[in-house]
Amino acid sequence: MLKKTNDLLYEMIAVMGLTVLFSFLYPEYKSLITLIPLIYLLIERAKRGRSWNDIGFKFNETLSDLKNNWYLIILVVIITQVLTLGVGEYFLPGFLQHIQARIPLINPSQLILFMIMLISATLGEELIFRVFFQERLSWYISVTSAILISSAVFASLHYAGGPVFIISFDLITIFIDSIIYGIIYHKTKNVFAAWIPHLLADIVAIFLIINFLSN
């Protein structure tokens, strides 16, 4: 078990601070910049003798964790995606185009490439924002505060320019989804239990976006 010292808190603040700063300064390199906390997490695991289980790799418990949190999974995979995209489509003209511009590979002709990227990106995000950021924060502040802060940072890194109402709605809905992923991770301490709903939610959202835009 890793001893919870102030040095770990300072390291986390430095790593996430640099990640956020460089992501906003050099948005074209955001995908590479977000590797910083992943690399740190893996180096720290090896250097400090942490097991894979310690950083949320609980594959054997994944099925039971998913079953125990089925209601949260339905909420984030289906309900929030349908509500978000339905409201965006019918009440915020240009919302779906905003998301498509933020994630330009949402295109049926590039779907295989996008799915490969989506699988790796969503797992990376769960490792960064739940296993590393949220979990580390929860050692020093309340779990609720840790989930809210990590979700706010998660949402901010999905920022894309556009009309203020569309940007606000986009970031708020990402923030809400992130809170649900955070709750699942807190309850299970299993990165796969948070990652699978995240991946499925994105797949459902992509399907809805393509369907709406093709009509």
pLDDT tens digits, one per residue of 26-54: 988 988 999 999 999 999 999 988 899 99
pLDDT (0 to 100) of residue 114: 78
Which are the contacts of 84, defined by CB distance < 8 A and separation ≥ 6?
Answer: 173, 205
Under 8 Å between Cβ of 105 and 99: no
List the structure tokens of 30. Answer: 């955001």
Chunked mean pLDDT (size 10), the chain, 215 residues: 78 95 92 93 91 94 98 98 95 91 68 84 96 96 98 95 95 98 98 98 91 80
pLDDT (0 to 100) of residue 107: 61
- Annotate 188-211 with b (16+ C-beta within 10 A) or e (fewer): bbbbbbbbbbbbbbbbbbbebbbe
pLDDT (0 to 100) of residue 108: 59
pLDDT (0 to 100) of residue 3: 66
